[in-house]
């Protein structure tokens, strides 16, 4: 199998239902690529951008996961569930009407850096067990608030009792918790009725391939047509072009000087060899560049 089909990324439009791990397993089976991972999980009910990393590109997942996210969320007011989403059991209801102006008045409270309490039904670990495992056993444990940043929070539509919000946020933000907290701020409760990840860094749902289309491509053997170059995950990094001796040194773990650049310390850069092939991530240390991640491709 050609290396370009096993060292790259897939931008999938996840359908509702399967878990992110389900799709990873299906891609692994359907493509024959042994090493496949995702760059940021989505809940089963959620749709939208799910970036999969193939082959050595699994080592780049951290850069996709660290990027900002954009979500479109349907928030159902007046009903709370134990999971904060539509898959959970209803635990409280409030028929009091909510006005569009009330929602708009409270949105600024959730913008900027906020402290967010993760839901019990999450994969965060406590004492070696995931919180959702404890929740399923009937336990409720105190969760420490975590700092997250909401760069943008817009009301796209209001069809009572459901509001459609668009949220641009830092990684690690729980949209389910945001829905719950917004409902409580309005005094009626709420849960997340639907969620689409519209973007993860530079990966957008408009550019994503639908799951049915990709599944057919795996059947037809044309799936490599959908594989993106691995360095598309690193477009925010500066570029270094290395000559053959420099590239050989990097491949052997040796620090190198490249040109007369003045990048600040700890800067990460993507490195290309004389043939223009991406093969490493380098880190600025003093006047040299240290091999940070090297791909033997």
Residue 219: domain span: 3-67+202-230
Tell me the pLDDT tens digit for each residue of 119-128: 866 677 767 7
The count of structural domains within the chain is 3
Q: What is the largest CA-CA distance in the chain?
A: 71
d(CA 92, CA 213): 40
**Are 25 and 96 members of one domain?**
no
CA neighbours closer than 13 Å in the CB half-sphere of residue 257: 5
Burial (CB count within 10 angstroms: exposed 0-12, middle 13-18, buried 19+), residue 281: buried
**Are 53 and 126 members of one domain?**
no
Listed residues 230, 247, 280: the one ending a domain: 230
Burial (CB count within 10 angstroms: exposed 0-12, middle 13-18, buried 19+), residue 247: buried
**Are 29 and 173 members of one domain?**
no
pLDDT at 133 over 80: no
Tell me the pLDDT tens digit for each residue of 41-64: 898 999 999 999 999 999 999 999
d(CA 188, CA 95): 8
Distances (CA, A) of 189 to 3, 122, 165, 183, 265: 51, 20, 16, 4, 47
Confirm whether 85 is a catalytic residue. no
**Are 131 and 184 members of one domain?**
yes
**Does any domain span residue 33?**
yes
Marked catalytic residue, from 2, 13, 22, 43 = 43
**Are 92 and 178 members of one domain?**
yes
Query: Quick one: DSSP state of residue 55?
Result: G
Helix (H, G, I), strand (E, B) or coil at 282: strand
pLDDT band at 230 (very low <50, low <70, confident <90, very high): very high
State percent of the chain over pLDDT 70. Answer: 93
103 with 158: CB under 8 angstroms? yes
Contacts of 278 (CB under 8 A, 6+ apart): 229, 230, 231, 234, 270, 271, 272, 295
**Does any domain span residue 54?**
yes
What does the mean pLDDT of the chain come to?
93
**Does any domain span residue 108?**
yes
pLDDT band at 297 (very low <50, low <70, confident <90, very high): confident
**Residues in a beta bridge with 10:** 52
d(CA 290, CA 297): 19
d(CA 36, CA 266): 29
**Are 52 and 77 members of one domain?**
no
**Are 95 and 184 members of one domain?**
yes
Task: Look up tokens 């817009």; give the residue.
Answer: 154
Please list, residue by residue across 34-43, b when 16 or more beta carbons sit within 10 angstroms of its beta carbon and e when fewer do: eebbbbbebb
pLDDT at 212 over 70: yes
Q: Which of the two residues, 250 and 2, has the higher pLDDT score? A: 250
d(CA 59, CA 57): 5
pTM of the complete model: 0.91
| Residues listed for the chain | 297
**Does any domain span residue 197?**
no
**Are 77 and 188 members of one domain?**
yes
Tell me the pLDDT tens digit for each residue of 266-290: 999 999 999 999 999 999 999 999 9
**Residues in a beta bridge with 191:** 76
State percent of the chain over pLDDT 90. Answer: 83
Per-residue pLDDT at 28: 96
């Amino acid at each position: 199998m050609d290396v370009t089909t096993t060292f790259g990324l897939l931008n999938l439009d996840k359908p509702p239902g399967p878990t992110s791990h389900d799709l990873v397993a299906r891609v692994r089976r359907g493509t024959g690529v042994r090493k496949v991972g995702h760059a940021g999980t989505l809940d089963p009910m959620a749709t939208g951008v799910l970036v999969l990393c193939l082959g050595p590109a699994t080592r780049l997942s951290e850069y996709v996961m660290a990027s900002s996210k954009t979500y479109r969320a349907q928030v159902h007011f007046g009903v709370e569930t134990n999971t904060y989403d539509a898959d959970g059991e209803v635990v409280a209801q409030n028929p009091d009407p909510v006005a569009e102006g009330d929602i708009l008045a409270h949105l600024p409270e959730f913008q900027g850096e906020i402290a967010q309490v993760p839901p019990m039904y999450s994969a965060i670990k406590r004492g070696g067990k995931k919180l959702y495992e404890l929740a399923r056993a009937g336990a409720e444990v105190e969760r420490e608030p975590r700092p997250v940043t909401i760069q943008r929070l817009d009301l796209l539509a209001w069809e009572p009792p459901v509001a459609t919000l668009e949220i641009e946020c830092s990684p690690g933000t729980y949209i389910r918790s945001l829905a719950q907290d917004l409902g409580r701020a309005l005094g009626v409760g709420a849960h997340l009725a639907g969620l689409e990840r519209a973007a993860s860094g530079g990966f957008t749902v408009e550019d994503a391939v639908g799951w049915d289309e990709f599944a057919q491509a795996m059947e037809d053997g044309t799936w490599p047509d959908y594989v993106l170059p691995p360095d598309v995950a690193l477009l925010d990094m500066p570029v270094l072009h290395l000559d053959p001796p420099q590239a050989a040194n990097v491949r052997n773990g040796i620090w190198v000087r490249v040109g007369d650049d003045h990048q600040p310390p700890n800067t990460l850069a993507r490195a290309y060899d004389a043939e223009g092939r991406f093969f490493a991530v380098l880190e600025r240390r003093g006047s040299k560049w240290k091999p940070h991640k090297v791909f033997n491709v």
